[in-house]
Amino acid sequence: MAILKLTERKKVHHAAELLLNSSNAIALTGAGISTESGIPDFRGEGGIWTRYKPEIYGNIKNFIRDPTKFWKLAEKVAPKLFSAEPNPGHYALAELEDMDIIKAVITQNIDELHQKAGSVIVYEVHGNINRFTCFGCRASYTKDQVMRKLKKEKHYPPLCDMCSAPLKPSVVLFGESLPTFEIYQSQALAEKTDVMLIAGSSLSVDPVADLPLYTLSNGGKLIIVNDAPTHLDERAEIVINHKTGKILPLIVEEIKRLQTIQNEEQDPSN
């Protein structure tokens, strides 16, 4: 196991045991799992909201009043979002789904890196940067259509071809409601799960920050992998303050080691 302190190695082992013996574990991820893919998070060191005021740049009321501010921020962040590739943290969660250890990923991220890494059951509770909607007539546009418009028209915000209203990426801004199916499904999964693996989230934005409480209230356990403390650390079974890109693959490796031991015990002739 890569160079980790003894305590962290023990925690990785305990997390692997919990997940291996779980019956319907799920993962909940935040922007922290994508920082090792080059996408800034929001509240971590150098995060987007430490440089731009969310109430101005990330709020739906201000978007309606003046969409250019949001689009100027999007112009800076979008290239990193569109060129990013999954990192070992994303691949580890995809492998845990393949191994039937986790049943779904609930993500606050809009970057589609879980899907690019191979995760299939992914609930994007804050939307997705690859779809755009017209604020006036609800017409929908793909990312490529909007990129072409921006290149040709050189106008921010891009305007709808049908009604000339400003276009908006299908991501949830502060003050907007979350996609109904995704959040209801996530609440149902959080209620039912016996182990929630939380990776790279400050757990500071409702209603997603409530999901771990659904798990705890039904006797489920939390494993938190985050490089900074969260307000739920003292209620978690395991907290590993380290990079998700390092810890999640180690948990997968440890699960495989435990499975080999289990198989040998069940069938020593193997």
Task: Write out the catalytic residue numbers.
Answer: 126
Tell whether residue 212 is a contact of ligand APR (CB under 6 A): no
Binding mask 96-115 for ligand APR (x = CB under 6 A): ------------x-------
Task: Using the minimum distance from each CB to Zn ion, give the nearer residue, 54 or 136.
Answer: 136
| Residue 201 near ligand APR by CB under 6 A | yes
Closest to Zn ion by CB, 140 or 262: 140
Residue 203: count other Cβ atoms within 10 Å of its Cβ: 22
Which one, of 31, 12, 56, 34, lies nearest residue 203 by Cα?
A: 31
Judged by CB under 5 A, does residue 137 bind Zn ion? yes
Q: CA 200 → CA 106, 119, 224, distances in Å?
A: 12, 17, 8
Selection from ligand APR, Zn ion, none that 200 binds (CB < 5 to 8 A by kind) is ligand APR
| 205 touches ligand APR (CB under 6 A) | yes
Query: In this complex, which beta carbon is closest to Zn ion, that of residue 155 or of residue 256?
Result: 155
Member of 63, 226, 232, 249 binding ligand APR (CB under 6 A): 226
Binding ligand APR (rule: CB under 6 A), the pick from 153, 228, 257, 264 is 228
In eight-state DSSP terms, residue 43 is S
DSSP class per residue in 111-157: S-HHHHHT--SEEETTEEEEEEEETTT--EEEHHHHHHHHHHH--SS
Crossing angle, helix 6-20 and helix 244-266, to 10 degrees?
A: 60
Rule CB under 6 A: say whether 128 interacts with ligand APR: no
Q: Which does 36 bind (CB under 5 to 8 A by kind): ligand APR, Zn ion, none?
A: ligand APR
Contact status: 149 vs ligand APR (CB under 6 A): no
* Distance (Å, whole) CA 60 – CA 55: 9
Percent helix / strand / coil, the chain, rounded to 5: 45, 15, 35
Our finding on whether 167 is near Zn ion (CB under 5 A) is no
SS3 242: coil
CA distance 222 to 194: 9
What is d(CA 174, CA 64) in angstroms, rounded to the nearest whole number?
Answer: 12
Q: Does 42 bind ligand APR (CB under 6 A)?
A: yes
Q: Does 136 bind Zn ion (CB under 5 A)?
A: yes
Compose the 234-253 pattern: x for residues touching ligand APR by CB under 6 A, - for all others: ---------xxx--------
Is 80 among the residues that bind ligand APR (CB under 6 A)? no
Q: Where are the beta strands (DSSP E) in the chain?
A: 25-29, 102-107, 122-124, 127-134, 140-142, 167-171, 195-199, 221-225, 238-240
Residue 225 touches Zn ion, criterion: CB under 5 A = no
Q: Residues interacting with Zn ion, by CB under 5 A?
A: 134, 136-137, 139, 160, 162-163, 165
